[in-house]
Amino acid sequence: MTTAEQAIKHLVVGEENSGDRLDVFVSEELEISRSHAQKLIKEGFVSVNNLVFTKVSKTVKTGQDATVLLPQPKPVEIIPQDIPLDIVYEDEYLAIVNKQQGLTVHPAGESFTNTLVNALLFKIKNLSSINGDVRRGIVHRLDKSGLMVVAKNDFAHVNLSSQIEKKECRRIYFALVEGVLKTDSGTINKPIARSKSDRKKMAVDTNGKKATTLYEVINRYTDNTLVQFELKTGRTHQIRVHSSFLGHPIVGDKAYGFKKQKFNLQGQLLHSKIIEFTHPYSKEIMRFESPLPDYFLKVLSSIQS
């Protein structure tokens, strides 16, 4: 394989990954499957401190440099699909989408249909290309329901991404949590890393990456609390991990909360309700707010009565 057919990725082992198996480290850092990482290692495409290792179980240590040679992905055609989409705002540079629960953001693995990107390609003529064809226009992740910003060109994409990185973009979520919070508001400053006991999950870890979440009680019920969370950083599963750390996991969250749930839900009651940022071109402050979805309101109604 020639270098023209490869992408070179340079990775540095942080404290939170020290002691990890090489295949685990590579899969997590590159967001690829563990089997894919193992294949790359066995075929000699992964080196640590300039030494090639083909043993997938080799452990890595803090400060080590890993280099991964990735074959360039084959071109994939993402088909536009007429999927219902709530576009709450649109101009020639960006759009704001109120994403419904259950709609995957972008194609992954071998599934290239029925995602937000497929819907965007049908509804919107131009989308930014910075993240490749499978993530056209996608500036940030959103696993659940609520507001997302979509970029229509690369300049807007870079600008919006920078605002998120610099904490200049406000992202506010509403969640229903288990139990009754005693304090009206607070700040959770707890670093987050990959869980040592379950690699599919995240956890509060002193060696993890900085994570800050603000919270404020909106309403208290007999056994639950409606809470507003504001992200100051954007770690994977941040609100879910931090609310669980408080001892008040999100209702419907079987991964970080109660295994037995009182309500028949398809996922946790977590909704991206407010997003505020500076328009990349006009420099106007843009603020959008979405109502809580029906499945969320239904649970609130049941606990109120």
Q: Count the neighbouring beta carbons within 10 Å of the beta carbon of residue 249.
A: 22
- The one catalytic residue in 20, 23, 86, 143 is 143
The answer to whether the Cα torsion of 19, 20, 22, 28 is positive or negative is: negative
Name the packing angle between helices 22-30 and 34-42 (round to 10°): 120
Structure tokens at 27: 């899969």
Structure tokens at 197: 């006991």
Alpha helices per DSSP H over the chain? 22-30, 34-42, 116-123, 154-165, 238-245, 294-304
Known catalytic residue: 23? no
Structure tokens at 263: 């309500």
Residue 288 CA to residue 135 CA, distance in Å, equals 23
Is 223 in a helix, a strand, or coil?
coil
Residue 231 CA to residue 130 CA, distance in Å, equals 24
Q: Contact 117/105 with Cβ under 8 angstroms?
A: yes
Nearest to 16 by CA among 148, 201, 147, 206: 206
Residue 24 CA to residue 98 CA, distance in Å, equals 34
Q: Give the catalytic positions in this structure.
A: 143
